[in-house]
A and B are shown apart, each in its own frame.
Chain A
């Protein structure tokens, strides 16, 4: 070996590095795991929760810092508000490792919610190879660096007395390919070959995940609401029946 090909020789303009960086891009891919790929029956764009008072409680965790928990709660609030629910938000701050959780006061504590939705996030798995990053930069990002993580979102929906009405664990996996080569190949395939729902670049990853995540949350909340109705012998049926959904809450099929 006479010379090292690892680094650009002095006469190669440093701009090539910058060019490589500029050309490189990220392609993030989302794969639904546990429960996130289950079909959603209701349409989250309709008023499914008219008249419902909902408290959304997001917990800060090792995986989700306080600001992210606030952001998550805000997005979930918007999603349920768009479906006709009156939503309060409660972000539970963890004041230190092993210490008790401290809850922020909801904005109007006087209104007792019909349902309480709790969200807890945790990181199940993450993978980030330094070797791949090294090769990626040596190859001017033509060889991609790959990072991936799997998260879990625990959802529990209770009535005001604390009775558990519905719960689920939603798991999703994200794989991120960093590099000009991957980006160019995928962009070209998106442009020439892939149909609209199969595209991988751009905001496709956010749209796919949001559709699954918010759809599952809506479905779970709807199930909790129906279970609450049955357990309370349809006491709140008037409110539920007022929801102008795609189908009336009449029995799906009458008893024979």
Chain B
């Protein structure tokens, strides 16, 4: 009987560890599991990030590879924002950073940058624009808070044109109406289709529109 108990108790550490398993199961639903952001990493990497929870790997190595599954709770649960907003905002820093880096490298001169974002939700659009302005400023570029605004007649025409024509035409109108000077560059960030959440970008300089990505 003692042997049986001993054998049944042997895997207890394994099963107790499972109580903290982030996968869906008895203790948490699929939605709760999805509200975690998990990444598998080596024990050394996990120890660097979570020194209090993950012990340092032994200096002489271990028999077999050891790794850790590190999870953190998302700030907002997946259903709190619209899917497109959530997907865009989750990677905003990275995507905006790539675009401003490209814009900055393509136009290295002494320019004053004006930035605007074209996105169906104005709140998200303003977040994108602010993120891009901040990133450009961090790169040492001169950034203005101004945004060129066209007349209502121009906007109603542009609204009916495809992106290929709308943005270059808007750029020409900015110049014709003296909304942008020779030393002003306008960085536009936008999505081009309702089915995507990746940002595209173009730059308007001296009445010429150039797509960056």
Using a CB–CB cutoff of 8 Å, the interface residues on chain A facing chain B are 1, 4-6, 29-34, 37-43, 48, 124-125, 129, 131-132, 134-135, 138-139, 143, 146, 150, 166, 171, 173, 175, 185-186, 189, 194, 197-198, 200, 208, 219, 222-223, 226-227, 229-231, 233-234, 237, 241, 245-247, 249-256
Chain B, residues 73-116, CB within 8 Å of chain A (1/0): the string is: 00000100001101100100000000000000000000000001
Q: B123 on the interface (CB 8 Å rule)?
A: no
Name the B residues within 8 Å of A197 (CB-CB): 30
CB distance from A35 to the nearest CB of B (A): 10
New A-B contacts (17) at CB < 8 Å, excluding given A134-B7, A175-B25: A33-B38, A39-B84, A39-B87, A41-B84, A42-B196, A131-B10, A135-B7, A135-B8, A222-B193, A226-B192, A237-B162, A237-B164, A245-B193, A249-B193, A253-B118, A253-B119, A254-B118
With the chains together, A32 CA to B37 CA distance in Å? 9
Name the B residues within 8 Å of A226 (CB-CB): 192-193, 196, 198, 200
Q: B50 on the interface (CB 8 Å rule)?
A: no
Please tell me if the beta carbons of B87 and A146 are within 8 angstroms of each other in the complex.
no
Please tell me if the beta carbons of A143 and B8 are within 8 angstroms of each other in the complex.
yes
Please tell me if the beta carbons of B38 and A31 are within 8 angstroms of each other in the complex.
yes
With the chains together, A18 CA to B179 CA distance in Å? 83
Residue from the list A229, A233, A247, A255 in contact with B166, Cβ < 8 A: A255
With the chains together, A138 CA to B1 CA distance in Å? 13
Name the A residues within 8 Å of B187 (CB-CB): none
Residue from the list A30, A150, A246 in contact with B195, Cβ < 8 A: A246
Please tell me if the beta carbons of B192 and A255 are within 8 angstroms of each other in the complex.
no
Q: B175 on the interface (CB 8 Å rule)?
A: no
- B1-45 residues with Cβ-Cβ distance < 8 A to A are 1-4, 7-8, 10-11, 14, 18, 21-26, 29-31, 33-34, 37-40
With the chains together, A43 CA to B34 CA distance in Å? 20
Tier of interface size on chain B: 35 or more
Q: B137 on the interface (CB 8 Å rule)?
A: no
Q: A41-B197, A250-B163 are in contact. Are A233 and B14 (CB under 8 A)?
A: no
Please tell me if the beta carbons of A31 and B194 are within 8 angstroms of each other in the complex.
no
Residue from the list B158, B188, B198 in contact with A223, Cβ < 8 A: B198
Please tell me if the beta carbons of A38 and B10 are within 8 angstroms of each other in the complex.
no
With the chains together, A251 CA to B166 CA distance in Å? 8
Please tell me if the beta carbons of A256 and B155 are within 8 angstroms of each other in the complex.
yes
**Chain B's interface: helix, strand, loop or mixed, by majority?**
mixed
Residue from the list A138, A186, A249, A252 in contact with B162, Cβ < 8 A: A249
Q: Which 8 A-B pairs have the closest CB atoms?
A: A247-B194, A39-B83, A255-B170, A42-B195, A254-B159, A234-B164, A31-B23, A253-B118
Q: A31-B24, A146-B18, A252-B194 are in contact. Are A1 and B1 (CB under 8 A)?
A: yes
Name the A residues within 8 Å of B164 (CB-CB): 233-234, 237
Of listed B4, B23, B125, residue having the most chain A CB within 10 A: B23
Please tell me if the beta carbons of B83 and A255 are within 8 angstroms of each other in the complex.
no
CB distance from A31 to the nearest CB of B (A): 4
Residue from the list A43, A208, A230, A245 in contact with B192, Cβ < 8 A: A230
Please tell me if the beta carbons of A37 and B155 are within 8 angstroms of each other in the complex.
no
Residue from the list B119, B125, B167, B195 in contact with A247, Cβ < 8 A: B195
Please tell me if the beta carbons of A234 and B33 are within 8 angstroms of each other in the complex.
no
Please tell me if the beta carbons of A241 and B162 are within 8 angstroms of each other in the complex.
yes
Please tell me if the beta carbons of B40 and A132 are within 8 angstroms of each other in the complex.
no
Residue from the list B29, B37, B125, B213 in contact with A253, Cβ < 8 A: B125
Please tell me if the beta carbons of A48 and B195 are within 8 angstroms of each other in the complex.
yes
Chain B, residues 162-204, CB within 8 Å of chain A (1/0): the string is: 1110110010000000000000000010111111111010000
